[in-house]
Amino acid sequence: MTGADTLHAAMIEAAEKQLATSPDSDIATRAVCEAVGVTQPVLYRLFGDKRGLLDAVADHGYERYAAIKAAQEQTADPVDDLRAGWDGHMAFARENPALYRLMFTPRPWSRSTARDRVFELLEATLVRCAAIGALRVDPPVAARLIMSACVGTALDHLANPELFDDPALSHRMRDAVFAHVLTETTTREDADPLREAALRLRAQLDLAGTDALEPAETALLRRWLDRITRPGAGSVR
């Protein structure tokens, strides 16, 4: 790690510490520079401005989040992993409230990719769910629904800390949204077997690929599967 990299990391750490103790979830660039022992022009050179520094803190938060996810053992049941992922997300919010708000509260000017990368981790688990036939909607759609519910619940809990004393509230939201996106163990009367098979095949294709088809053929197959799985598309009878 170069001297510039070390300084970059030290300023992010100082900003995150200040953010964690700030009553208004804000930082002062002068205080960050004083904590590291540099002048403000150094901050501007490394991050552009205060917004750039906050974006860097948010993205560093993602690295911590991803490390926690990587440390969680991936089981043979992606649905169980999905449930554990929800609870892990809530735990991260509870343990890092200021950082979580920075990562997930919309900031129109922000260039941070933290939220997008968390979304990608969720979608990867949902692709695994689709591959075993456990998902009734496209993984990106399921990811958007789950992410919205999860983040909304976490931010609400941060605004009302007393709600953390009752984990059942979070689990009720989790179970409600999961019931909407996951299949049941028994066959539903409204199930479309062709669409569900197409969802599963497309997920398997995303996970493992195939050497049996040329790239152009694979692209065409994906296009056909997308048409079959599109909401409102009827199965061929």
Q: pLDDT 10s digit of each residue in the chain, 237 long?
A: 677 789 999 999 999 999 999 988 899 999 999 999 999 999 999 999 999 999 999 999 999 999 998 888 889 899 999 999 999 999 999 999 999 999 999 888 899 999 999 999 999 999 999 989 899 999 999 999 999 999 999 999 998 887 667 778 899 999 999 999 999 743 444 556 677 777 777 777 787 788 878 888 788 888 887 887 776 555 444
**Which residues fall within 8 angstroms of residue 217, CB to CB, at 6 or more apart?**
none
The torsion angles phi and psi of 192, rounded to 5 degrees, stand at: -105, 100
Is residue 32 a contact partner of residue 15, using CB atoms and an 8 Å limit? Answer: yes
Give the relative orientation of helices 97-104 and 114-131 as an angle to the nearest 10 degrees: 80
Question: For residue 163, which amino acid is it?
Answer: L
- Please give the DSSP secondary-structure letter assigned to residue 25: S
Which residues are 182's β-sheet partners? 135
Quote the pTM value. 0.76
Is residue 87 a contact partner of residue 30, using CB atoms and an 8 Å limit? Answer: no
159, two tokens: 């605004």
